[in-house]
Amino acid sequence: MTKIILMRHGETVWNTLGRWQGHAPTPLSEDGILQVQHAAQNLYQHQPLDAIYSSDLLRAQQTAKIVAEIYQLPINLEPRLREINLGAWQGLTREEIMAWDSERYQALWQQHHLPRPGGESLQQVGQRANDAIQMWLKEHPNQVILGVTHGGTIRGLLYHLGLSDGNSSTNIKNTSLTTLIYEDGIWHLENIGQVTFYPNLDCEE
The CATH class given to the 2-141+153-170 domain equals: alpha beta
How confident is the prediction along the chain (205 residues), in pLDDT tens digits per residue?
999 999 999 999 999 999 999 999 999 999 999 999 999 999 999 999 999 999 999 999 999 999 999 999 999 999 999 999 999 999 999 999 999 899 998 888 788 999 999 999 999 999 999 999 999 999 999 999 999 999 999 999 999 999 998 875 568 999 999 999 999 999 999 999 998 755 444 444 4
Active-site amino acid positions:
9, 83
- CA–CA dist 21, 55 (Å, integer): 14
Domain ranges of the chain: 2-141+153-170
Query: Are the beta carbons of 4 and 81 closer than 8 angstroms?
Result: no
- CA–CA dist 58, 27 (Å, integer): 6
Query: Are the beta carbons of 121 and 113 closer than 8 angstroms?
Result: yes
Sequence-distant (≥ 6) Cβ neighbours of residue 135 within 8 angstroms: none
